[in-house]
Structure 1
Amino acid sequence: MAFERVGVVGLGTMGAGIAEVFARAGLRVIGVEADAEALARGRGLLERSTARAVDKGRLPAERRAEILGRVTLTTSRDDLREADLVVEAIPEILDYKISLFRDLDGVCKPETVLATNTSSLPVTALAAATGRPGRVVGMHFFNPAPVMRLVEVVRTVMSDADAVSDISALATRLGKTAVTVGDRAGFVVNRLLLPYLNHAALLMEQGIAGRDDIDVAMTRGAGLPMGPFALLDLIGLDTAYEVMEVLFDETRDRRHAPAPLLRELVTAGRLGRKSGRGFYGAEQARAQGPGRSGVITFDVAGPGADELAGRLGAAGFARSGEDPDVVLRFSDRPVVEHAVRLSDPSRMVGVHLVGDEVAELARTALTSDTAAGAAVDLMKVAGRAPVPCKDRAGFVVDALMLPYLNDAVRMHDAGYASAADIDAAMRLGCGYPAGPFEMLESIGLARARDGLRALYAEYRDPAFAPAPLLDQLVTAGATEFPRR
């Protein structure tokens, strides 16, 4: 189907951005709002967005006039009668959306495709409310719509194959990358991203690591563009909370239950950047790291010990196997297993290097404040950003990343989306340097499987058990994930 005239219902930040995307691609756009005041706000969003593009040299002034000229604004849904496609972008309240789709079904011509921009609500429920369930799909843009390249095209069990393929082709025409997914809460990006963010809040709440340290670990260590708490503040804690509730309602997976700390901050009105305070600004929630120390002597053991010893020795610290101030132990497994072999286990701190810049410093139940502070100082001298944490399976980075990767494998294995589409969705939707399957191959399938086994052994959470497909690939000796 050729889409030439499209409607957008709801001209808030997302709706106005979607209307701009369509108009930029040469389509005629009918923008609909509830009343004149809302319509004026939507017009203002369109005008300011395109004006910024001109000011930054990304859009010629004459092109801006053409784009705005393609958009007709109205408060009457009857003006959508001749639209080939209508995209809904009203607030995320299912009852409101169902009512709107019933109305659109009566207004629009039979062949019109009705699409929802919902980020997590069931598209199937909207389709079932109409007399054209085969021509109802999800078309989930990402904010800001004119900039973000990803569109999740959501098919339901009732969707006509041609409607899904036509919308995917339209997304390509808009200059976007379309990934086709099934109708599950959160689709791909939110279903993988939000549990990871929620998990970070739980780690902080459990005192495994502090807010700033977790953000440092995930940016400078894992290479992500933003740490989980900075990203939660950007998204909006209320938005994250609502998505987690939708996920939990569908899955009843305890990992999808919003973290109590997230609920507390939302209840307190600390919603992130939109309110001025969220995780950042909530200083009472910040874990305090160990104080500084007067370390002079150290010992270090495990793979990589000699290189670290050489760096510290060059900085004037003395390595001693007799009575060191602190013992640094490179380890992936519980550090306390090594500590109990020392005459003074309070001096041991676990070291786990992540990337080229971060050192996770695992404190056991026996580690002294002096040894913990000494380890922080020594890592700074060695040129590593120290991330103090408790001696728990996965420490920080693996504890957050491996369940996320495992979720992606389960998603693909269930036939929900292809590995290539999942990778593209997380790269384009989140700005990640690599998709989850690319990350799995980078760290090693066997290492990921073994790390998940360690997490499962400690927490006994079924979601941490390695996905059967991952386990089978490792057993077969595979080093790459099959792209099928």
Structure 2
Amino acid sequence: MAFERVGVVGLGTMGAGIAEVFARAGLRVIGVEADAEALARGRGHLERSTGRAVDRGRLTRERQAEILGRVTLTTSREDLRDADLVIEASPEILRYKVSLFEELDRICKPETVLATNTSSLPVTAIAAATGRPGRVVGMHFFNPAPVMKLVEVVGTVVTAPGVVSGIAELAGRLGKTAVAVGDRAGFVVNRLLLPYLNHAAVLVDQGMAGRDDIDAAMKLGVGLPMGPFTLLDLIGLDTAYEVMGVLFDETRDRRHAPAPLLRELVTAGLLGRKSGRGFYGDEAQEEQRPMSGAVTFDVAGPGSEELAGRLRAAGFKPSDDPGVVLRPTDRPVIEHAVRLQDPSRMVGVHLVGDRVAELAATALTSDAAARAARDLMKVAGLTPVPCKDRAGFVVDALLFPYLNDAVRMYESGYASIDDIDAAMRLGCGYPSGPFEMLESLGLARVRDGLRALYAEHREPSYAPAPLLDQLVTAGLSAFPRG
């Protein structure tokens, strides 16, 4: 399939970025906006983006002029009649996209491929509105398009043979990595990412842990580029809410129902960075609380040697009459606490990597013991993450369902292991894909953690994916490939 002239409808930040990507690759681009004012804004997006690249030494002035010279700007969609490919980057409103594609179908030559940059809406519904459903695909770029290397290429049950592969080859020509997927809400990245972000909001809503603590746990403990609430504010809470609604409409999975806290913030107009406030913003600077007075401790249970060693290195020694008893353990911590003469002194400790300590307080843990545990972790060079005594604490409760979702996605034949891993690395900037992470953590550990989550919540989607369960039963430590 030959693509030399490309139309881009909608020149907001995303559309202008897509136009720039095509122009950088040497293609002629026709950029279309609704009116002269919007067209001027689109031109401004292009000039500023390429200008920043010049300022950073990534483009010469001559190269910038070449790129901008390949883009023709117009307010007439009729100018798209000779395009080989037209991609739209319009608002995520299905009826609007359907109307647009009906018009593009009338204007464009029969062999033109029509593509939507939707991040979650059904491509099949858009294709069905045209007289060329076999030549309609999803081509989902990630923001900022000139920087992000991933493109999700979405085929439908009526996509003609060769169209998806042709668009994937074009993505390679653009310097992108293409991941070919079917038409399911959220495709790969949003289908895996957004439920994890929504789950984090649910944990805050339930008082499981605080916003800052959850962000610290996932960034410092797991090594993600940013915590879930920082990322939600960056994405836009309204966007996240809309995607979760699309996911829920398709799956009816309770985990895909937008968190009540998310709904409240969106209703209040607190949308994240775009509005100046979301999960973060306008909060007063937290005062640094002084350390507790004399802190005495003991460490009990299997695996206590590492934690005791850290505290000894910091100048603390275990006491026969401790103010806090630290129990390195999986939950339930309360089962260990009730064996003490004074169960209010026990705090469960779960080390996540070498930087984070989740501190699980039971229903009986005293405030003094909880404060002492936090202070001790800081002295030991660990970031404390206070939480309740619940299955998975914070990190595993967020991470394991995400990994399970990835296994179910692969098991259904929706996408390959390599494509899913590549999508999450390139689309989210994760240090590793879900299958790489699964094998690093250990399949048995993840399977058993999911069983604990399911036993506590009875949420069907927490039950380990059958493939994961079978691999553990078979004694395998990796997913078969090839």
Which TM-score tier does this pair reach, normalised by the shorter chain?
over 0.9
**Which residue is equivalent to 1:405?**
403
Decide whether the 8 Å contact of 1:9 with 1:88 is kept in 2. yes
Distance 1:239 1:432, change over 3 A: same
**Which residue is equivalent to 1:272?**
272
**Which residue is equivalent to 2:309?**
310
1:53 equivalent in alignment to 2:27 = no
- 1-structure distance, mates of 2:340, 2:460: 35
Deviates more, 1:322-331 or 1:452-461: 322-331
Q: How many residues were matched structurally?
A: 482
Q: What's the offset of the Cα at 1:316?
A: 3.3
- 1-structure distance, mates of 2:148, 2:244: 23
Gaps of 5+ in 1: none
Specify the code of the residue in structure 1 equivalent to 2:341: S
Q: Secondary structure at the match of 2:162?
A: helix
**Which residue is equivalent to 1:39?**
39
- 2-structure distance, mates of 1:282, 1:258: 24
**Which residue is equivalent to 1:132?**
132
Specify the code of the residue in structure 1 equivalent to 2:8: V
Aligned pairs for 1:359-378 (under 5 A) are: 359-378=357-376
Q: What's the offset of the Cα at 1:412?
A: 0.6
Q: Secondary structure at the match of 2:179?
A: strand
**Which residue is equivalent to 1:342?**
340
Specify the code of the residue in structure 2 equivalent to 1:38: A
Specify the code of the residue in structure 1 equivalent to 2:158: M
Decide whether the 8 Å contact of 1:11 with 1:89 is kept in 2. yes
Specify the code of the residue in structure 1 equivalent to 2:315: G
Aligned pairs for 1:3-152 (under 5 A) are: 3-152=3-152
Deviates more, 1:310-319 or 1:8-17: 310-319
Give CA-to-partner distance per residue, 1:364-386, whole Å, 9 cap, x none. 00100010001001111111111
Specify the code of the residue in structure 2 equivalent to 1:368: S
1:385 pairs, out of 356, 365, 383, with 383
- 2-structure distance, mates of 1:281, 1:241: 19
- 1-structure distance, mates of 2:236, 2:349: 34
Decide whether the 8 Å contact of 1:290 with 1:369 is kept in 2. no
- 2-structure distance, mates of 1:29, 1:317: 67
**Which residue is equivalent to 2:162?**
162
Specify the code of the residue in structure 2 equivalent to 1:161: P
**Which residue is equivalent to 2:224?**
224
TM-score, structure 1 as length reference: 0.97
TM-score, structure 2 as length reference: 0.98
- 1-structure distance, mates of 2:120, 2:427: 14
- 2-structure distance, mates of 1:330, 1:273: 38
Q: What's the offset of the Cα at 1:170?
A: 0.0
- 2-structure distance, mates of 1:476, 1:281: 50
- 2-structure distance, mates of 1:109, 1:39: 24
C-alpha RMSD of matched pairs (Å): 1.6
**Which residue is equivalent to 1:355?**
353
Give CA-to-partner distance per residue, 1:241-269, whole Å, 9 cap, x none. 11111111111111111101011111111
Distance 1:303 1:282, change over 3 A: farther
Specify the code of the residue in structure 2 equivalent to 1:483: R
- 2-structure distance, mates of 1:288, 1:239: 33
Deviates more, 1:160-169 or 1:292-301: 292-301
Q: What's the offset of the Cα at 1:282?
A: 6.3
Q: What's the offset of the Cα at 1:295?
A: 4.1
Q: What's the offset of the Cα at 1:195?
A: 0.4
Decide whether the 8 Å contact of 1:291 with 1:373 is kept in 2. no
Distance 1:20 1:99, change over 3 A: same
Q: What's the offset of the Cα at 1:296?
A: 3.0
**Which residue is equivalent to 1:171?**
171
Q: What's the offset of the Cα at 1:291?
A: 8.5
- 1-structure distance, mates of 2:294, 2:446: 35
Give CA-to-partner distance per residue, 1:30-77, whole Å, 9 cap, x none. 011111111111111111111111011001110110111100111111
Q: Secondary structure at the match of 1:386?
A: strand
Decide whether the 8 Å contact of 1:210 with 1:289 is kept in 2. no
